[in-house]
Amino acid sequence: MALIEVKSLTKRWHTDRLALDCVGFEVKQGEIVGLLGHNGAGKSTVMGIMLGMVRPDQGEVRIGGVSVQQDRPKALAQIGAIYEAASFYDYLTGWQNLRALCSLSGWWDEKEVRRVLRLVNLHDRANAKAGTYSHGMRQRLALAQALLPRPKCLLLDEPTDGLDPEGIREFRELILRLRAEHGLTILLNSHLLAEVELMCDRCVILKAGSKLYEGPVPSRQENKPIFQLQSPDIAKARDIASRIGASMSREGMVELPPHLLGSDIVRHFVEGGIRIDGWQQHRRTLEEFYLEQTGL
């Protein structure tokens, strides 16, 4: 069942620039979906519309069956979000910031707040002023506020922006843990393709306001194994490959048909007198797929 339904969103800015052109996709319960695209592709605009901060010219977003455009408070009661750079009140402590934000949700439970602060590893700095927090601590506080009170779904807009590699890894592990333990549905907008690849089940790629792709993260599709052949006899190897129903590029990338194994084609090459310097399975990365899709 789709928890988030994004339906035919169109948005034109006052400058007449088309920000979104009939963009639609779904996020099912328990899924982690990555929203990808270059700067200005429309990712943050989609997020803004999902949170009711940006008004679409056409289309709507439904969260748990409730339209954000028609009943924003009810729709948003089901989600937690980090939208653009989280800006906290520097003169309040982390705890006071959470209290001020939670009051808008009409909820406060000290025990649960402490649990979430421990979860994001911020419990020992909760009483320090937010102005004294490092960038990583601010991001963790942003995640803590998104997790209060327990949402069904998280919308995360560039949550790892500016974090160091260790911080990014911790964040990824936390997100995966939240999904595993609480069945959270997560929509993640990120520039870090490697992270999206490691975290997400599916991805949506936007370019210049249009949707280019919606589907599984390509590297997770194992139904078309690709191998890389290193050999001085590539031209001859291509003939052999085409004879047995496999396709092979000039660079030595061999895509196998479903009835053949990697070992079968190696045998054919050896019997055909091909010298093999190297043979390894190649997994197409999300980055390669993304660049291919966006034509960059």
Partner 1 sequence: MSLFFSQLRAEILKLFARKRTFIGFGAFLLLEIVILFLFQTKGVNRFKSLIVQQGEAFEKYYSALTIAHIVLGAAVFLLGGIYLALVAGDIVAKESEDGHMRLLLARPVSRFRLLLVKYLTCALYTIALVQFITWSAFLMGLFIKGWGGGYFAYSPEAGIAAFYDWSEGLGKYTTASLCLSFAMITVSSVAFFLSCLPIKPAAATITALSYVLIDMILRNMGFMEDYRHLLLTHHMAAWAKTLAVDPQWAVILRSFTVLVGVNTSLFLAGVVVFDSRDLKS
Residue pair 13/45 in contact (Cβ under 8 Å)? The answer is no
Strand-pair category, 79-82 with 226-230: unpaired
Task: Pick between residue 103 and residue 221 the one whose CB is nearest to partner 1.
Answer: 103
Could you list the residues that contact partner 1 (CB under 8 A)? 44-45, 48, 51-55, 72-77, 80-89, 91-92, 96, 99-101, 103-106, 108, 145-146
Task: Pick between residue 72 and residue 283 the one whose CB is nearest to partner 1.
Answer: 72
Q: Which helix (H) or strand (E) holds 23?
A: strand 18-28
| Radius of gyration of the chain, Cα coordinates, nearest whole angstrom | 23
- Minimum CB–partner distance for residue 127 and partner 1 (Å): 13
- Minimum CB–partner distance for residue 89 and partner 1 (Å): 6
The tokens 């707040």 sit on which residue?
113
CB contact set of 11 (below 8 Å; sequence gap of 6+) = 18, 19, 20, 42, 45, 49, 54, 55, 56, 57, 209
- Minimum CB–partner distance for residue 81 and partner 1 (Å): 4
Task: Pick between residue 51 and residue 286 the one whose CB is nearest to partner 1.
Answer: 51
Task: Pick between residue 73 and residue 273 the one whose CB is nearest to partner 1.
Answer: 73
Task: Pick between residue 52 and residue 225 the one whose CB is nearest to partner 1.
Answer: 52
Look at residue 52 and give its three-state secondary structure.
coil
- Minimum CB–partner distance for residue 99 and partner 1 (Å): 7
CA distance 145 to 132: 18
- Single-letter residue type at 1: M
CB contact set of 90 (below 8 Å; sequence gap of 6+) = 129, 130, 131
- Minimum CB–partner distance for residue 88 and partner 1 (Å): 7
Task: Pick between residue 145 and residue 189 the one whose CB is nearest to partner 1.
Answer: 145
Closest CA to 50 of 91, 14, 81, 18: 81
- Minimum CB–partner distance for residue 129 and partner 1 (Å): 10
Q: Record the tokens describing residue 112, joined without a space.
A: 């649960």
CB contact set of 114 (below 8 Å; sequence gap of 6+) = 123
- Minimum CB–partner distance for residue 101 and partner 1 (Å): 6
Task: Pick between residue 106 and residue 258 the one whose CB is nearest to partner 1.
Answer: 106
